Amino acid sequence: MNDQAASLRRLAAGERPVGETLPPSTPAGAISFRPRPAARGQDAAPPAGPVRLARAIAITSGKGGVGKSNLAVNLAVALTRLGRRVCLLDADLGMANADVLCNLSPAQNLLHVLTGRCRLTDAMTLAPGGFRLIPGVSGVAGMADLGTRERAFVLRQLEALESVTDDLIIDCAAGIASNVLAFAAASTSTIVTTTPEPTAVTDAYGMVKSLLRRREDAEVMLVVNMAESEAEALAVFERMNRVSLSFLGRAISFGAAVPFDPAVGAAVRHRLPFTLFAPDAPATRAVERLAARLAGVPETRQRRAPGGFFSRLVSVLGRGGGGRAEIAASP
């Protein structure tokens, strides 16, 4: 085990390596997964000492089948390509599938963490594209609705990642279950995913409404997936934003129009993120623009040089079946 991996494990145990300094904080507006300061009159107090603030991005949807997990995985790849240190938590706790999309067969997952068999950092796996994945659990009914104590436990362990991560992407389950709203409310911003279908749009608005009732200052961004055109996606956004302003008193922002793209289905069948499988596909370019916007990268710097060592390496990782990897403190 290398020194960086050992440092991360010590961080997970609440220790700080001797002589190690914390990196600079991310831009203003990021929030910490540390517990929020107690209300006046309560005994609890926020922890003392410097805190590295990682940005948390929750990705949700009102209904299933709209491409939410695929967006989460490919956004993680795109942000990593921009030099960000990215960790993806598959928090679709009952029906997790981010590992399937990445052709991984992890030995440990979130169930092992919650049952005390390993730490969150021990369950991290190097995924195609260079980001770190914390796999969820599929087909375990008890995981679908964690109690308050279990959710708090996961959030406390995520705190250990803040010194070695720029972006924590949380792939939430579809719908408005308490787990989903809890993770989304704890995040810096929430991406709500929908398709142009009326049922998907209606359920997406239900998600926005439920989240804003849970946290009035939540930052909500809409991504319209499988759109026939950007005009169609913008029309969906404008309708939802108008309703949100009228009935909730809050505006939402437009994230991206991800077009319907045959390359996406082909990539899923090959169990590889479509941003790696088809780097020049329209869907890939849309997700890269979204990543660049989130990372604050100027448009002229968004496209990378093709055919380099790194892109070849991640392709080999993606087709090789994957597996656990030592987790270094930087990519």
**What is the reported pLDDT for 215?**
92
Which residues are registered as beta bridge partners of 227? 259
Q: Are 54 and 165 in contact (CB under 8 A)?
A: yes
Q: Are 180 and 192 in contact (CB under 8 A)?
A: no
Q: Which pLDDT tens digit goes with each residue over 36-90?
A: 444 455 444 444 444 445 789 999 999 999 999 999 999 999 999 999 999 999 9
Residue 236 corresponds to which tokens in the numbers above? 């969906």
Block residue for tokens 């403190």:
329
Q: What pTM was estimated for this model as a whole?
A: 0.75
Could you say which residues of the chain have pLDDT below 50?
A: 1-39, 42-52, 304-331
| CATH of region 54-294, choose from 3.90.550.10, 3.40.50.920, 3.40.50.300, 3.30.200.20 | 3.40.50.300
> What is the rounded average pLDDT for all residues in the chain?
77
**What is the reported pLDDT for 223?**
98
Cα 81 to Cα 66: distance, rounded to the nearest angstrom: 24
Q: Are 191 and 60 in contact (CB under 8 A)?
A: yes
Q: Is 172 exposed, middle or buried (0-12, 13-18, 19+ CB in 10 A)?
A: buried
Per the document, the length of the chain is: 331
Residue 131 corresponds to which tokens in the numbers above? 């980001």
Domain boundaries, the chain: 54-294
Q: Is 321 exposed, middle or buried (0-12, 13-18, 19+ CB in 10 A)?
A: exposed
